[in-house]
Amino acid sequence: MVCYPTYGGSGVVATELGKSLAELGHKVHFITYNQPTRLDIFNENLFYHEVSIPNYPLFQYSPYETALASAMVNVVKNEKLDLLHVHYAIPHASAAYLAKQILKSQNIYIPVVTTLHGTDITLVGKDPSYEPVVTFSINESDGVTAVSEDLKRDTLEHFDIENEIKVIYNFVDLNRFKKQNKEHFKKAICPNGEKLIVHTSNFRPVKRLGDVFDVFVGIKKHIPCKLILIGDGPERVKLEELCRSTGHYEDVRFLGKLDAIEDVLSVSDLFLLPSEKESFGLAALEAMACEVPVISSNAGGIPELNIDGVTGYMSNIGDVADMIAKSLLVLADDKLPIFKANALKRAKDFEKSKIVAAYVDHYSTVIQKHKLSSTNIVS
């Protein structure tokens, strides 16, 4: 597994997938520049290899891709890996291509699966500074997956892709993400029975944190409520400032990079996801598994998860007034239990074991196909 170790959906998916594969008896090696955030358990089948990036005064930017490709070559050789699975195309897919070519020159053949997660296609990947390399490395991968139909469509529309793209949705561990009794926590945050609204993200502009705030303020005009914000990122300081300057700071809690997100979700009433772009919305899925309905934008792959009028509602991107009106519908005392039950029911469609099995299936197909083609190369 090659992934970003930081908070963010692609790293979470890679780590949870690796942990599940390890439980199934596969040996899983993580190759990245830091211990992945959710790689927090001991399992005899899990290994972590840190990419070391030596610095040199000549470099303005250290060549991470070169260090990563070298690490992949070394780990594949030393650990006799069967497959490289890289999450987030930039720069992991092209580094994997380089590693694969180096290994090929030594008569070692390794297939590469690339999983497209979202902004590697929808935002960053489309930039002309990256596009040719992204297109090439997707086409050179032995298997390509995307986390939603929408992301697949977007990829085919904006890149010249000859490879087949298989959609494998994000998944949730229902043993971890489930509603637990944390009423003491709810009482501490909402002492007067206020409704609890939550948002978790990496606080990047694409998440439209301003809309999260405006929707919260709009709801608060009608129903007493509190807002919890989990995560951290470039927009946090601006948002804190906004909460202070508008006099709402007392009703908003910034919890930072909290690990036990499920504790907060267990006592939350509504999850807000007004993103500009969102290939799937793993954070919303984790909320739904804890019985939290979702008010979201209709961006990207969100409609493949959030069912309008059933598990919550969707509005056009930036339509704050509509989001407020729909939040009030969900939070109505006679409707909330129905939305909560629906959210959980929908989350079960994305249960971990089903989706992990789809990845295992995909690996088998790729390995099989690759064996056939490398036998041809050798003969």
Contacts to ligand GMT by CB under 6 A:
8-11, 13, 88, 117-119, 122, 147, 170, 202, 206, 275, 277-282
* Residue 300 beta carbon to ligand GMT: minimum distance, rounded to whole angstroms: 6
Which two structure tokens, joined as six digits, stand for 136?
């090439």
* Residue 165 beta carbon to ligand GMT: minimum distance, rounded to whole angstroms: 14
Nearer to ligand GMT, 88 or 159 (CB): 88
CB–CB of 8/279 below 8 Å? no
Nearer to ligand GMT, 206 or 323 (CB): 206
Q: Helix or strand or coil: residue 138?
A: helix
Nearer to ligand GMT, 166 or 220 (CB): 166
Nearer to ligand GMT, 117 or 370 (CB): 117
Best CA proximity match to 186, nearest among 107, 89, 268: 268
Q: Quick one: which H or E segment has residue 267?
A: none
* Residue 202 beta carbon to ligand GMT: minimum distance, rounded to whole angstroms: 6
CA dist 111 and 123 (Å) reads 27
Nearer to ligand GMT, 236 or 248 (CB): 236
List Cβ neighbours of 142 (8 Å cut-off, separation of 6 or more): 111, 112, 113, 366, 369, 370
Which two structure tokens, joined as six digits, stand for 315?
């509005």
* Residue 285 beta carbon to ligand GMT: minimum distance, rounded to whole angstroms: 8
Best CA proximity match to 120, nearest among 111, 109, 110, 133: 133
* Residue 284 beta carbon to ligand GMT: minimum distance, rounded to whole angstroms: 8
- Write the DSSP string, 220-263: HTTS-EEEEEE---TTHHHHHHHHHHTT-GGGEEEEES-S-HHH
Nearer to ligand GMT, 29 or 207 (CB): 207
* Residue 67 beta carbon to ligand GMT: minimum distance, rounded to whole angstroms: 20
Residue 78 to residues 51, 72, 74, 254, Cα–Cα distance (Å): 15, 10, 6, 44
Q: Write the burial class of residue 329 (CB in 10 Å: 0-12 exposed, 13-18 middle, 19+ buried).
A: middle
Q: Helix or strand or coil: residue 30?
A: strand
* Residue 358 beta carbon to ligand GMT: minimum distance, rounded to whole angstroms: 14
Nearer to ligand GMT, 282 or 287 (CB): 282
* Residue 280 beta carbon to ligand GMT: minimum distance, rounded to whole angstroms: 4
Nearer to ligand GMT, 20 or 103 (CB): 20
CA atoms 120, 207, 281, 249: torsion sign: positive
